[in-house]
Amino acid sequence: MGVVNVTPDSFSDGGRWYEPAAAVAHARELLADGADLLDVGGESTRPGALRVPVDEERRRVLPVIAELASAGAVVSVDTTRARVAADAVAAGAHVINDVSGGLADPDMYRVVAETGAVYVAMHWRGHADVMDSLATYDDVVLDVRDELAQRLDALVGAGADPAQVVLDPGLGFAKPGSDNWPLLAHLDVLAALGRPVLVGASRKRFLGHLLADADGRPAPPERRDGATAAVSALAAAAGAWCVRVHDVAGSADAVRVADAWAAARADAHGSGGAHGSGGTHASGGRSGGRSGGTVDPSGTVGTGTGAAGAPRQDGEHGV
C-alpha cells in the first residue's frame, strides 16, 4: 500500500504532494514502483496534529481519488469521517482505511455496511492531540487484540460482513516506542481473530529512535526507509496481508525476498506450495469495480461484481 499524503503538514514528506496534480503524479510513481493499492489521505494524523474541516478534507482527496480510480488504480481513502468515506467510495475508492477503527465517527460502520467497501479498522484510543496520554497497557499485545475484537464485533453488529474487515495494530498510535515491537513480534495473535492484518510501520517514531545517532537524536523520517523495508520483509514472512509504506520500491523488494524465502522453506519441507498460510504478494493483478468488496488473508481484494486481484499496498498515519 503506497501512501499518498494530500496534506500540507505530513510528518514524512512535508506536504510535497499537497496539490492534486502533484499527488496524482506521485501516486503514478508509486504504482510504477510496485504499489498495488494507493492510500489517499487529506488529514495528518501525526502527533499533535489538529483536525481539518470536513469540507477541506473532501476538497483535498476526492479529485485525486476520482482521477486515480478512473485510470484503473485500486484506491483506499485514509479517513476517520463517514461522510468523506462515503464520498470517496462514490468517487471510486475500494477501501476505507480508518485509523480510529470507527470510534471517531458513529456513522462510519453504517457507511461500511451500506457500501460494502473493504474496511481497515486500526487500533486507536484518541485523536492525534491526545493519543500520547492514552498509552497505558497491562499487556499491549493482548489489550490491542481485545480492543480490535470489540471493533470487529461492533462492525458485524452494524451489518458489515466480517469478510470486509482488515485489522491494523496501530503502530505508534497511543503506543510508546517499546510497545510497538511486541505487536510486530506477535502478529499471529492478531491474525487469530480471523481477519487479515495490515502493518503500518513506515517511517514512524519508534524506528527513528531505534536508529538514533550517538547523541541520541532520532533518525529523521527520510532515513527510516531501510528499517521500514526490514519490517516489511518480516511482516510478510509473518503472514501480514499488507504493508503500508511511503517508499514502495524498497518494501516491494523486501516482500519479494520474504516470498522467495518462504517458498524455499516450503519446498525444502515438502509442503508442495510456495506459502504456508496468509503470505503477502509481491506481484499480481489489479482489482476492478467501483465499490464494495471483500478481502481474504492471501492478499486478494474482491470488488464490485466479484472481480479480484492481488494488491500490494501504502497514506499518512504519521506517528
Active site residues: 204, 244
The C-alpha angle 49, 53, 56, rounded to 5 degrees, equals 105
Q: Which amino acid is at 236?
A: A
User: If residue 293 lies in a helix (H) or strand (E), which one and from where to where?
Assistant: strand 293-295
Q: Identify the residue whose cell numbers are 511511503.
A: 246
The residues, any chain, with a CB within 8 Å of residue 21's CB and separated by 6 or more, are none
The CA distances from residue 38 to 4, 53, 64, 171, 242, in Å, are: 7, 23, 11, 19, 12
Residue bearing cell 481474504 = 296
Q: How far is CA 271 from the centre of its chain?
A: 31
**Which residue's C-alpha cell is 484503473?**
72
Q: How far is CA 47 from CA 25, 51, 179, 271, 316, in A?
A: 27, 11, 16, 45, 12
Please report which helix (H) or strand (E) contains residue 75, including its range: strand 75-78
Rounded to a whole number of angstroms, the CA Rg of the chain reads 18
Please give the angle made by the CA atoms of 147, 149 and 152, to the nearest 5 degrees. Answer: 115
φ and ψ at residue 71, rounded to 5 degrees: -90, 0
The C-alpha cell at 110 is 453504517
